[in-house]
Amino acid sequence: MRRLWALAPLKNLARAKTRLAETLADSCRSALVMAMARDVMAALAQSRSIERLVLVSDMPDSPELIGVPGLTRHPGVGGGLNQDLTAAALWASAQGATHALFVHADLPLLTPAAVDRFVAGDDDCPDGLRIAPCKQGVGTNLLLTPLPLPLPLVYGAGSLARFQSLAAAAGLDCALWRDPTLAMDIDESTDYATLQLLCEQGRLPDGATAALLRRPMSRGLRTEMQPQLRYGSSAEEKLALSSP
């Protein structure tokens, strides 16, 4: 019987989403990070597939700040993302987990149904890996893997190709699951502009992120960035976002 635990990393707020620092004042950037994390944890908590939800964070009060029932914390080992998640996976395996779902905490379109579809798609290769790539198709937003870990974790720039290469060398299946609700992460100013546009169109799940964006967050934007953010999405992005 598969026992699936979700492991979600969350950086200390002082170090989170630094690429948005030129776009959002520090207080607004922290609020956005926490709102997205709260929505991701809520979606995972409501998934039918996940037995236990673990926040991998060095912030002792992070579960209380997130406020999702049943959320627990692993502190990591202070050695970076891959080391922290590896330590959390070892701990989960020792507690009886047979599989881990690694999920980034900046996926504002994530829903419980999308999580369940992703996990159910693994039925054809239960001993392999399943990856939901990022929107550029080079990063790894979700990773489903058996435990103990069959491969080292290699998150970072271009992680998808590295995971695929390691899996091929080990003779493991590595299936890709392409879903726009799992692909959209928020890293750059243009990502934030797209997020605002989705909110204006009513296409964000109703949660903490949508509620935050409906507030006058423009007061926290860097003044020189406001026109770029308001109209920063390309025509192609706007057309895609407005399509049914």
> Is the pLDDT score of 242 beyond 70?
no
Averaged pLDDT of the chain? 87
Asked which of 46-60, 116-130, 136-150, 154-168 is least confident by mean pLDDT, the reply is 116-130
Q: Is the dihedral of CA 141, 206, 238, 218 positive or negative?
A: negative
Provide the pLDDT for residue 241: 39
Cα–Cα distance, 240 to 231 (Å, whole number): 15
When computed from its CA atoms, the radius of gyration of the chain, rounded to whole angstroms, is 18
Q: Which residue intervals of the chain bear CATH 3.90.550.10?
A: 4-183
Q: Write down the pTM of the prediction.
A: 0.87
Question: In the structure, what pLDDT confidence band is assigned to residue 99 with cuts at 50, 70 and 90?
Answer: very high
Tokens of 150: 């069959």
* Fold entry, domain 4-183: Spore Coat Polysaccharide Biosynthesis Protein SpsA; Chain A (3.90.550)
> Is the pLDDT score of 44 beyond 80?
yes
**Residue 51 contacts residue 4 (beta carbons within 8 Å):** yes
Provide the pLDDT for residue 161: 98
Cβ partners under 8 Å of residue 159, min gap 6: 138, 139, 140
Cα–Cα distance, 57 to 74 (Å, whole number): 6
Phi, psi dihedrals of residue 125, rounded to the nearest 5°? -145, 70
Provide the pLDDT for residue 164: 97
> Is the pLDDT score of 236 beyond 80?
no
Question: In the structure, what pLDDT confidence band is assigned to residue 126 with cuts at 50, 70 and 90?
Answer: low
Closest listed residue to residue 227, CA positions, set 235, 214, 218:
218
Cβ partners under 8 Å of residue 117, min gap 6: 179
